[in-house]
Structure 1
Amino acid sequence: MKRTELPRAEALCARYLDKKQPVLAAVSGGADSMCLLYFLREQGYDVSCAHFNHQLRGAEAARDENFVRAWCEKEGIPFYPGTGDVRAHARATGKTEEEAGRDLRYAFLRETAQMLGAQIALAHHLDDNAETVLLNLVRGTDLRGLCGMRPRQGDIVRPFLGQTREELVTYARAHNIPHVEDHTNADPNAAARNYLRLEILPRLRELNPRAPQHIAATARSLTVLDDALEQAAEAALSHAKAQDGGISLSLNCFLAADEVVQPRILLHLADALGLGRKDIGRKQLDAICALAQRGGSAERRYTLPQGALVRIADGSLTMAFSPAALPKAVLVENVPLPWGNFELTLLHKPDGEGISLRAPEDGEIITVAPCDLNARLMLQGANGARSVKRLCVDRKLSLTERDALPALYVGGQLAAVWRLGTDVTFLPEGGDAACFVRIIPR
């Protein structure tokens, strides 16, 4: 077989790989990755081999590593092994084993490539890409998911992305390239991708033998539109500013973007914040966009994973990590206590601004803590108890102001909330304060 029988791979190599720089090929020992290693060497690249043992398949995984090592030694190709406890990483991060394995594998590849000053090449081919597009479609995705994999994504190059699995099998046979088989690849129930490859794509080929090629071609066409949306999102993000530990963008600027661009802007904000995109799905993006489009001056919030928060107020859309909840703390007589934006001091009599309370009964202590929005206060002269949340709304307190309010508890019961009032149960008898909590803004 002539090398030109993989013309699309040659073209991608010429476009994305620099022959003056070493190439690190990720090799599992399977047919595709062994073809990649052989092909890159035949193309004249200074190629090294990286193999990662995921510690998931016992003796078979050790067999794969030994096979790749031995072949590289025979062919004079530098071999770099890596390993990691995928199951432990999955437990520690809450990810699936597939996700955890990818994390560890890519970290190893990048670390090794950095050590060698090398480019990274992976063996994904056209059929892999068709499977990726279908899998994303079934699981639910946006335009980016329908674009599948790209020949170059960041520091990763995929020279075989334009070649079919069948073409690589033919190439391997023509050049007597050995490989090992992962027995789980033949089990349609082992992974969703296996099911697509073994059960779904064969049926699609019955409708059209070139179904994978057409799926991959459509994905390539969509990348043009995806790139345009990314550019529009990046243009809007150029107006964002770091503010109060978060990233803030003018609400007018956000709303001026097309509705299909707005979710991209949010994802870029998440990237800039360090939150990342993995746990932000279509549901969250749509909800935030709806809040932004609602209009009105009232503050709006949406909670994201990892303690992040989107706040829409004062003409801005801000994404930030929520501050840690303020602790519950005991007030000690005549000892000032810094708490949030306030300093609280328990006194015998009124002195400045603060809250007057009845005398604590035996065993009762006075504490300060964040207010429970669902807790209720019976205020003097009110027609029944009202929730803290309702009282905040009545007094037109913003969500930020509400979250900062110190609540006083006597014997574990809500006695008063600063700026809202004191429950009648805890008012001083006869109008004379038996104790006083002075509250000074800091």
Structure 2
Amino acid sequence: MKRTDLPRAEALCAQYLNKAQRVLAAVSGGADSMCLLYFLREQGYDVSCAHFNHRLRGEEAVRDEEFVRAWCEEERIPFCSGSGDVRAHAHKTGKTVEEAARDLRYAFLRETAKKLNAQLTLAHHADDNAETVLLNLVRGTDLHGLCGMRPKQGDLVRPFLEQTRAELAAYAHSHNIPHVEDRTNADPNAAARNFLRLEILPRLQTLNPRAGEHIAATARSLVSLDDSIERQAEALLTAAEQNDGSIALPLASFRASGSAVQARVLLRMADALGIGRKDIGRDQLSTVLALAQKGGTAARQISLPRGATVRMADGFLTMHLSPAAPEKAALTEGVPLHWGNFELTLLRRADGEGISLRAPNAGESLFAAPCDLSARLTLEGANGARSVKRLCVDKKITPPERDALPAIYAGDRLAAVWRLGTDVSFLPQSEEDARFVRIVPL
């Protein structure tokens, strides 16, 4: 296979990368990122490699880092490594493990690129983009989400975005490019993206083998329209006033804009407050837009995920971020604990509403803490483990309600979540073995 077998990647490199400046490739050790590293070198770029260890997969993560390091040494490619405590960052910020991993990874990549004065490249391809579009569509999104990823997005360049996974696999095979496999990628229940890649896209491809390519191509065709909406939203936000924990916009100017621009403005306000867009879906946006169009002078308010609210009063639309969720706190038998909007008491017998679980093992303490949305529970009678986030969706628990739920940890292990249930490994086996966490809403 010749280099021209990835012509769209060559074209994107020519368009967005400067051969006179160093290029930094983000490399996990998987097939796609190893192809990127090899391809950039073959194209004549002065390429360096950056690998981030998320400390989530133990020995397998160490294996990945050593594999990439050894290959770079053999090929005489400069290698940069970094690592971070993703779970600690997730707990501190209230984000999912997936979001926390992305935060730390991209911070490392950008810092490394800045030190090297390098252009930063990622190995996302057309199938990744199709998955992103479908995931955004399922979760609820505006036009921006339907555009998926872009070849050039701020300081990020994605040379492979118009090449398919199959084309990269063929390229790797032709050039004998080695890689390592992340075992979690083969588990459809490990992440929503895995489920789409392993279960949904193959079914769509039975209707049309090029389904992924067509989804990605449609996303590209929407970019110019999305750019126009972004410019209008940016112009509207010039009138906004931002204070600590809130941002306000004249309600009249907000109402005068089209609904697509209004939705974009709300998402930009959320970004400005550090709330993030992931859990703000179409339903929440539609509710805010409907309330904004109502006449009268009465104050109106709606809750959003992450403790945020949108309030319309006194001629302004204000988005406000409430204080962070309570920190992890130890449960002491018989001593009430005020945690968030709840009072939790550890007891030896059931008394009222609460959570039943086994007694802690020797040296094991029980704690109340915010939910880790990506953590998994295996509930009694269920067919395997499910993430907290998916279980909340199944039980129709809204994002604001979900963010306030107390989770019970035994040491560092998730034992139970209020309104969801107790993991089967923490169910009591006898009355003597039982403990009960009484939960009283305040």
TM-score under structure 2 length normalisation? 0.68
1:265 match: secondary structure: helix
Q: Deviations over 1:348-386 (max 9, x none)?
A: xxxxxxxxxxxxxxxxxxxxxxxxxxxxxxxxxxxxxxx
Match of 2:419 in 1: none
Q: Deviations over 1:167-221 (max 9, x none)?
A: 1111112212111112222222332222222222222211111111111111111
Percent same amino acid at aligned positions? 74
Quick one: distance in 2 between partners of 1:221 and 1:160? 17
Match of 1:173 in 2: 173
Deviates more, 1:84-93 or 1:253-262: 84-93
Match of 2:295 in 1: 295
Relative to 1, partners in 2 of residues 1:136 and 1:308: Cα closer, same or farther, differing over 3 Å?
A: closer
Match of 1:255 in 2: 255
Tell me, yes or no, if the aligned pair for 2:127 and 2:213 is still in contact at 8 Å.
Answer: yes
Match of 1:206 in 2: 206
Quick one: distance in 2 between partners of 1:61 and 1:85? 13
Structure 1 position 132, deviation (Å): 1.4
Match of 1:222 in 2: 222
Tell me, yes or no, if the aligned pair for 2:51 and 2:80 is still in contact at 8 Å.
Answer: yes
Query: Could you list the runs of 4 or more consecutive aligned residues of structure 1 that deviate by over 6 angstroms after TM superposition?
Result: none
1:203 match: secondary structure: helix
Relative to 1, partners in 2 of residues 1:272 and 1:136: Cα closer, same or farther, differing over 3 Å?
A: closer
Relative to 1, partners in 2 of residues 1:268 and 1:192: Cα closer, same or farther, differing over 3 Å?
A: closer
Relative to 1, partners in 2 of residues 1:278 and 1:135: Cα closer, same or farther, differing over 3 Å?
A: closer
Relative to 1, partners in 2 of residues 1:277 and 1:131: Cα closer, same or farther, differing over 3 Å?
A: closer
Q: Deviations over 1:303-355 (max 9, x none)?
A: 4455554343333323345699xxxxxxxxxxxxxxxxxxxxxxxxxxxxxxx
Structure 1 position 142, deviation (Å): 2.3
Relative to 1, partners in 2 of residues 1:268 and 1:187: Cα closer, same or farther, differing over 3 Å?
A: closer
Quick one: distance in 2 between partners of 1:244 and 1:9? 44
Match of 1:11 in 2: 11
Match of 2:24 in 1: 24
Relative to 1, partners in 2 of residues 1:178 and 1:245: Cα closer, same or farther, differing over 3 Å?
A: closer
Match of 1:109 in 2: 109
Relative to 1, partners in 2 of residues 1:134 and 1:74: Cα closer, same or farther, differing over 3 Å?
A: same
Structure 1 position 129, deviation (Å): 1.0
Structure 1 position 285, deviation (Å): 2.4
Match of 1:391 in 2: none
Deviates more, 1:19-28 or 1:134-143: 134-143
Structure 1 position 76, deviation (Å): 0.9
Structure 1 position 228, deviation (Å): 1.8
Match of 2:282 in 1: 282
Relative to 1, partners in 2 of residues 1:208 and 1:308: Cα closer, same or farther, differing over 3 Å?
A: closer
Q: Please say if 1:42 is aligned against 2:28.
A: no
Tell me, yes or no, if the aligned pair for 2:142 and 2:263 is still in contact at 8 Å.
Answer: no
Relative to 1, partners in 2 of residues 1:244 and 1:5: Cα closer, same or farther, differing over 3 Å?
A: closer
1:238 match: secondary structure: helix
**What are the residue-to-residue correspondences of 1:120-139 with 2, within 5 Å?**
120-139=120-139
Structure 1 position 89, deviation (Å): 2.3
Tell me, yes or no, if the aligned pair for 2:245 and 2:322 is still in contact at 8 Å.
Answer: no
Match of 2:417 in 1: none
Deviates more, 1:181-190 or 1:211-220: 181-190
**What are the residue-to-residue correspondences of 1:11-410 with 2, within 5 Å?**
11-242=11-242, 246-305=246-305, 308-321=308-321
Match of 2:421 in 1: none
Whichever residue aligns with residue 84 of structure 1, its letter is G
Quick one: distance in 1 between partners of 2:200 and 2:245? 48
Whichever residue aligns with residue 229 of structure 1, its letter is I
Relative to 1, partners in 2 of residues 1:249 and 1:138: Cα closer, same or farther, differing over 3 Å?
A: closer
Structure 1 position 263, deviation (Å): 1.3
Q: Which runs of 5+ in 1 are unaligned?
A: 325-442
Return the index of the structure with the highest Cα Rg: 1
Q: Deviations over 1:13-69 (max 9, x none)?
A: 111112222111110111110110011111121111011112222222111111110
Quick one: distance in 2 between partners of 1:115 and 1:19? 18
Higher relative contact order (CA 8 A, sep 6+): 2
1:261 match: secondary structure: helix
Quick one: distance in 2 between partners of 1:263 and 1:137? 15
Quick one: distance in 2 between partners of 1:113 and 1:217? 30
Quick one: distance in 1 between partners of 2:125 and 2:241? 41
2:259 match: secondary structure: coil
Aligned residues: 324
Relative to 1, partners in 2 of residues 1:260 and 1:95: Cα closer, same or farther, differing over 3 Å?
A: same
Whichever residue aligns with residue 209 of structure 2, its letter is P
Quick one: distance in 1 between partners of 2:130 and 2:35? 20
Structure 1 position 240, deviation (Å): 2.8
1:178 match: secondary structure: coil
Quick one: distance in 2 between partners of 1:164 and 1:33? 13
Q: Which runs of 5+ in 2 are unaligned?
A: 325-442
